[in-house]
Amino acid sequence: MPKSVRPRRSMLYMPGSNSRALEKARNLPADSLILDLEDAVAPDSKELARKQVCKTVAAGGFGLREVIIRVNAFSTKWGYDDIVLASQSGANALLLPKVESADAIRHMESIMRANGAPDSMAIWAMMETPRSILESQRIAESTPRMEGLVMGTSDLAKELDCAHTHERLPFMVSLGLCLLAARAAGLAILDGVYLDLNDDSGFEFACLQGHQLGFDGKTLIHPKQINTCNKVFTPKLEDVIWSRKIIQAHTEAASRGEGVAVVDGKLIENLHVESARRVVSMADAIVRMEAANP
């Protein structure tokens, strides 16, 4: 699927050291899975998690879900070995944390290439420090393997010494800069996690806000968050119907040599049709994914 059309409404972190969680991941309704070797794994379980995650991914059975392995940072003693083994796992992508430069991405790519990673294996970058935000454009444009950016708002809050407010105003500059960088480079971008599992209304608000800002979806820390997240980021039926209607009207106008169409009193130009095609393509892709996933 093209990057811009693949469903990524929900991207769920799963601890790589928990074998039961890894097995459960195959049947969860998340669009994407991040099998985590970093924050979710204790130091004395790092090597076990690495082998366990790569074996699980190689075994398959994830349907059309996107499978991403988050490796440890280069600054740790596990990062290099994580990349080496994960490059041979068959995952869709590797996610590098603590990225602060385009060179870090290119270094990761060189290790992947040297260890047999196929050209189709993409790279994602965690955006979670002030420097990563300021370097977001260069990171996004570092290599054709770049697939997307993931906001690490928990680490970012610590680095900025800012608060997690309901409206997330302290994060808006950082979110906006990364959104601009991702879209300029043609990449996907996922919003950060919501930490309070008991605050359902707050979580839904954060999903709606992320959707309105332009994120492709949201990263999650628990399966209970998936359904709400999927609902918010799924194109509404009325929007899909409207999109199909204006695509057809514009096509008919073009066949008459006209550059614009009027639908229900609204002027429809090519830019509206491009947005409409994305809505329809995403809705169709979601239907295919949900039908194919176990």
Measured CA to CA, the distance from residue 142 to residue 109 in angstroms comes to 10
Q: What is the pLDDT along the chain (294 residues), one digit of tens a residue?
A: 445 579 999 999 999 999 999 999 999 999 999 999 999 999 999 999 999 999 999 999 999 999 999 999 999 999 999 999 999 999 999 999 999 999 999 999 999 999 999 999 999 999 999 999 999 999 999 999 999 999 999 999 999 999 989 999 999 999 999 999 999 999 999 999 999 999 999 999 999 999 999 999 999 999 999 999 999 999 999 999 999 999 999 999 999 999 899 999 999 999 999 999 999 999 999 999 999 887
pLDDT of amino acid 2? 43
- Spell out the alpha helix ranges (H) of 28-171: 46-59, 79-86, 102-114, 130-134, 136-140, 153-160
Note the Cα 279 to chain centre separation in Å: 17
Show the beta-strand stretches assigned E in 16-92: 32-36, 66-70
Show the beta-strand stretches assigned E in the chain: 10-15, 32-36, 66-70, 93-96, 122-127, 146-151, 188-191, 217-220, 261-263, 266-268
Q: Is residue 172 within 8 Å of 133, Cβ to Cβ?
A: no
Please give the model's pTM, rounded to 2 decimal places. 0.94
Contacts of 110 (CB under 8 A, 6+ apart): none
CATH code for the structural domain at 10-233: 3.20.20.60
Q: Where are the domains of the chain?
A: 10-233, 237-292
| Bridge partners (DSSP) listed for residue 262 | 267
Measured CA to CA, the distance from residue 9 to residue 282 in angstroms comes to 10
Residue in the structure block whose two tokens are 């709400």: 228
| Bridge partners (DSSP) listed for residue 34 | 13, 68
Q: How many residues does the chain have?
A: 294
